[in-house]
Amino acid sequence: MKVLMFGWEFPPNISGGLGTACYGLTRGLASFEDLNVTFVIPRVYGNEYNTGIKFIGAGDVELSGKTLVKQRDLEIRLSHDVGHEITAYITPEQYIKIIASQEQKVKEKVINPKFMNSISPITYVTKNSPPVFIVHGDADPTVPYSQSVALNQELENFGVVHQFFTVKDGGHGQFSPEDTKKVDDSIIEFLTELGLNKSQ
């Protein structure tokens, strides 16, 4: 069997997660016998990770006269203003510079109390807020567990019906099967008490 794939990037020449995903897919496909994979990307650098597949650079393919006319017509009529600094292939130095620039913009917003309040769910808690079910791992490395503790307290202050489920030693989602079942059971119980469990 022959498989033709099209992608934007491929390791190690990547700028996001798409290349990594394509790498995994092609490795899996190449593991099957009697299966030939051809992967088309904008440009072949020659240092692509070898997964037993064939690479073709789209820019190296000769176009017919009719196709060239269509391409030139599109280039005249379509705008190519991307409006973003990230491109398909950039150097590590360029990437670091872009990230530093974005981090500075984030820092400027973080020290702005008005902005911080506008994105905090605590700001929008009132006595008329609907029932809330909070799930948070107390070892979450991405979103501080203390944020859910503060939200839980604010819900208490306004008398909002809610439940706060803490996953002990839980990270940022991707809980263990056992903890996931506990969370699911608690949600079902919470909905049942509210009369919203239609399966009952």
> Distance (Å, rounded) from C-alpha 193 to C-alpha 200?
11
**Largest Cα–Cα separation, the chain:** 72
| Per-residue pLDDT band at 79 (split at 50, 70, 90) | very low
Q: What is the DSSP letter of 129?
A: P
pLDDT digits (tens, 9 = 90+) for 90-118: 566 776 777 777 777 777 766 677 877 88
> Distance (Å, rounded) from C-alpha 151 to C-alpha 148?
5
Q: Which of 194, 128, 138 shows the shortest CA–CA distance to 169?
A: 138
> Distance (Å, rounded) from C-alpha 28 to C-alpha 51?
9
pLDDT digits (tens, 9 = 90+) for 132-179: 999 999 999 888 999 999 999 999 999 999 999 999 999 887 788 899
pLDDT at 82: 42
Alpha helices in the chain (DSSP H): 17-30, 65-77, 92-110, 113-119, 145-157, 177-193
Q: Where are the domains of the chain?
A: 2-76, 91-119, 120-193
Pick the CATH number of 120-193 from 3.30.420.40, 3.40.50.1820, 3.20.19.10, 3.40.50.2300: 3.40.50.1820
